[in-house]
Structure 1
C-alpha cells in the first residue's frame, strides 16, 4: 500500500511520552543493552568521529542490524547520537563509557550489570520477606566472601570502585577540612585513590592507607611526588586500626554495614585516638523527608547485596555519638557523598 500524503505529514512523535512505570518495567532491557556495548568496546570505536554501524559491527564481529537496534535504544536514553546517514557518535553523557576517558565508568557499568548484581536484583522479592540480602541466598555466601573466592570478580569490583571515585576524590579533597600538617589515616581506603589526592593537595601531610592486605598491596600511592610520605598497613578494621593519627577518614565504608557493625568500626577507631582527634565520614546523606536523592538507588544495592544502608543525618549523628564522637557539621559536595566532620570526645 502506498504511503498517503496525510501519513507523510503526520507527527510520528505525537504519542504519549513513556510513563515512569514503563521506564522501570523495561529497566533490565536498557541495562542489558548498556552492558553489551560496554563489553564490545563500542564507545571506544566512536570516540573521535561518528561511524557507520556496518563499520562498527565488522570491527567488533557483530551483526550490524542487531547492533543498530541496540545503539538506537541507547541513543533514546541520551548516550549515543544517530545522524541522518545512520552513523553513531557518543554524546557528552556517553563519553564515560570510553575506557580511556578521564572519568571512565566502563568498569562500573560492567560491575553493576554483572550477573552478581542482576541475580541479586531478581531476588529482592525474597529480601522483602526475610530482610536478608538476596546476594547471600543466590550465591551461597556474602558479597565480600564471594569476591575473596573469585579473583576475577574481585578485580572487577576494585576497578569499578576506582572508576566510580575518579574525579570524585578531587572534589572531596577540595571540600574536606584538612589540616596543614599531621598524619591522615584512611581506614578502609581501598587502593588509596582518595589518600593520593589528599597528599598531593597538601604537601606537608603524611598518610597511612589501611585496608585488607590484598587490597593495599595493589595501592596507587607509589608516585615520585609522594615518596616518603605514606605507608600501607593491612588489617581488619573491626579489631584494630593504626594509632596516633591526627585525622581519620572513612569513605564509603559505613554504608556497607548494619548499625551494629558500624559501631564496631567506630569503636575501633575511637580506641585508637585521643580526645579531640577528628574523623571525616564520607558517605551519602539522605534528606530524611521523602525528598528524592540519587543515593536511593545505591541504598537498594545495599539492600540486595549487603546488610548496609544509606543513612540520614540524624542516623549518622546517633551512630557517632554512641561510639564516642560528636558530629560538628555536614559539608555537601559536588559528588554523591557529603562529608560529616566529627571529633572524638
Structure 2
C-alpha cells in the first residue's frame, strides 16, 4: 500500500526561529496583528543595511532586472502551482507539475528555480519542488494571490512612463501610462465599468485584489490603533469609495457598536451586495448593519446623516482639484459633530527639515528614523513610494505629504484635528471648519 505523504517539517512553535524554507506557515504569518513596531524597525534596518552595503554597479544591475520576479510570480499564480503542490507536501517533479498545470515543464522549471532562489518554493531534490511558508501564501484561495496578479498589467503600463513624461500636458487621469498601454480613452475605473468580458474580469480582480493588498500593508492595524470602540452604539460609518467593502466588513466584525454604509461605483456595489457579502458575512445583511448604495462622488454627496465618513486609499487616485471636489461633496452633508477620516500612506521627504519647530508643528510631525538612516527610513519604507509611482502609472495620481492633505482639506472647508498612526499607514481626522 502506498504510504500517505507526510511533511518532513513540523509546524514551528512560538519560540522557534522562523525561516522561509519551513514548509508550514509560521505563527507570525497568521496572527491578526503583524505590525509590531519593533519588528518593523528591525526590518527597516536590515533593508537599509542590504541596500547601502552593496557595490553601486551590482546594486543598479540587480534592481534593473527585478521585474522578472513579479512576472514569475504571475506565472505560478495563473497556473495555480501552489495549489497543485498543496496536495504533495514532499514535492513533485517538475515534469509532473508541468503536466498537471498544462505548461511546458522546462520553462516552468526555470521559473520555479528563480523563485526558489528567492526562497519562494523549495527545491527538495533535483527538479523536485514543494511549497514553503512563502509560496503557501500564493494559493488561489488567498486574496494576496489576486492582488499580486494585478502587477502583471502594472508592469506593462509602467513601460509607457517615459512616453507620458515626454508630454508634460498629459496630466488627466485618462492620459496615464496605463491608458497608453491599453489604448483606452477612459480612466481605469471607468474601463472596469465598460461591460466587456475583459473589463469585467479585470474590475472584479482589482476589487478582490484589494483584500490581498489590505493584508500586505497591514491595513487592519486601523482596527486597533483608531478608537472605534469609543463611539456610542448605533454610530454610522460611511465607507466612501470602499469597493466591495473589505474594511467595512472588518469594522462590522470587530465593533458591534457600528453600523456601516458602503458606497462606490455601481458595478462594485452590485458585486458587494450580490456576491461578496452574502458569501462572507450574510449576518450583517440580515441584521441590517450594512447598507449598499452606488455613488459618483464627483457629482453627488454621500448618504446624509452619517457620523463618520471613511475614505481609504481614495485621494491618491485623483488630482488635487478632484480631491477637493470629493471632500466638498462630503462636507455638504457633514454634521457639526461628524468627521472625515482619510486612511492612507503619508509620505515623508528624504531630507531632515531643521527649520521646522517641533512644538509648533507637533500635530504634523511623523516619526523620523535616527541617523544614519534617512528620516523616512529609506528603503525600509519604500512600499509607500512604490505605491506613489503605481498611482502615477495607472491614474496619473499620487500619494501626499501631511501638509498636502491638510491643504486639500482646507480648500474643502475642513479643519485638521489629529493624525493617528496605524501600522505603516495613518489616519487623518478632519472636522467642519
Q: What is the TM-score of this pair, normalised by structure 1?
A: 0.87
Q: Deviations over 1:248-290 (max 9, x none)?
A: 1001111111111110001111111122311111111112235
Q: Go from structure 1 to structure 2 and tell me whether the alpha carbon gap of 1:315 and 1:71 turns closer, same or farther (over 3 Å shift).
A: same
Q: Go from structure 1 to structure 2 and tell me whether the alpha carbon gap of 1:180 and 1:23 turns closer, same or farther (over 3 Å shift).
A: farther
CA distance in 2, matches of 1:17, 1:76: 22
Aligned match of 2:191 in 146, 152, 158? 146
Q: Go from structure 1 to structure 2 and tell me whether the alpha carbon gap of 1:224 and 1:143 turns closer, same or farther (over 3 Å shift).
A: closer
Higher alpha-carbon deviation: 187-196 or 271-280: 271-280
2:179 aligned with 1:118: no
User: What secondary structure sits across from 2:166 in the alignment?
Assistant: helix
CA shift for structure 1 position 90: 2.7
User: What secondary structure sits across from 1:19 in the alignment?
Assistant: helix
CA shift for structure 1 position 91: 3.1
CA distance in 2, matches of 1:47, 1:332: 38
Unaligned runs of 5+ in 1: 1-15
2:426 aligned with 1:338: yes
Higher alpha-carbon deviation: 65-74 or 325-334: 325-334
Q: Deviations over 1:82-125 (max 9, x none)?
A: 12444222332333211123xx41111222213xx233111110
2:108 aligned with 1:67: yes
2:253 aligned with 1:204: no
Aligned match of 1:171 in 215, 218, 221? 221
Q: Is the 8 A contact 1:249 1:279 kept in 2?
A: yes
CA shift for structure 1 position 307: 2.3
2:77 aligned with 1:38: yes
CA distance in 1, matches of 2:56, 2:178: 35
CA distance in 2, matches of 1:70, 1:284: 33
Q: Go from structure 1 to structure 2 and tell me whether the alpha carbon gap of 1:312 and 1:90 turns closer, same or farther (over 3 Å shift).
A: farther
Q: State the partner residue of 2:45.
A: none
Aligned match of 1:180 in 217, 232, 248? 232
Q: Deviations over 1:286-338 (max 9, x none)?
A: 1223533311111111111112101111111211222122222222223x432
2:369 aligned with 1:328: no
CA shift for structure 1 position 78: 2.4
CA shift for structure 1 position 18: 8.5
1:101-140 counterparts in 2 under 5 A? 101=142, 104-114=143-153, 117-131=154-168, 132=170, 133-138=176-181, 139-140=183-184
Q: State the partner residue of 1:25.
A: 64
CA distance in 2, matches of 1:262, 1:196: 25
CA distance in 1, matches of 2:318, 2:137: 29
User: What secondary structure sits across from 2:271 in the alignment?
Assistant: coil
Q: State the partner residue of 1:225.
A: 283
Q: Is the 8 A contact 1:327 1:342 kept in 2?
A: yes
CA shift for structure 1 position 158: 1.6
Q: Go from structure 1 to structure 2 and tell me whether the alpha carbon gap of 1:232 and 1:332 turns closer, same or farther (over 3 Å shift).
A: same
Q: State the partner residue of 1:156.
A: 205
Q: Which has the higher contact order (CA 8 A, sep 6+)?
A: 2
Q: What is the TM-score of this pair, normalised by structure 2?
A: 0.70
Aligned match of 1:265 in 315, 318, 326? 326
Q: State the partner residue of 2:408.
A: 319
CA shift for structure 1 position 41: 0.6
Over the aligned positions, Cα root-mean-square deviation in angstroms equals 2.2
User: What secondary structure sits across from 1:62 in the alignment?
Assistant: coil
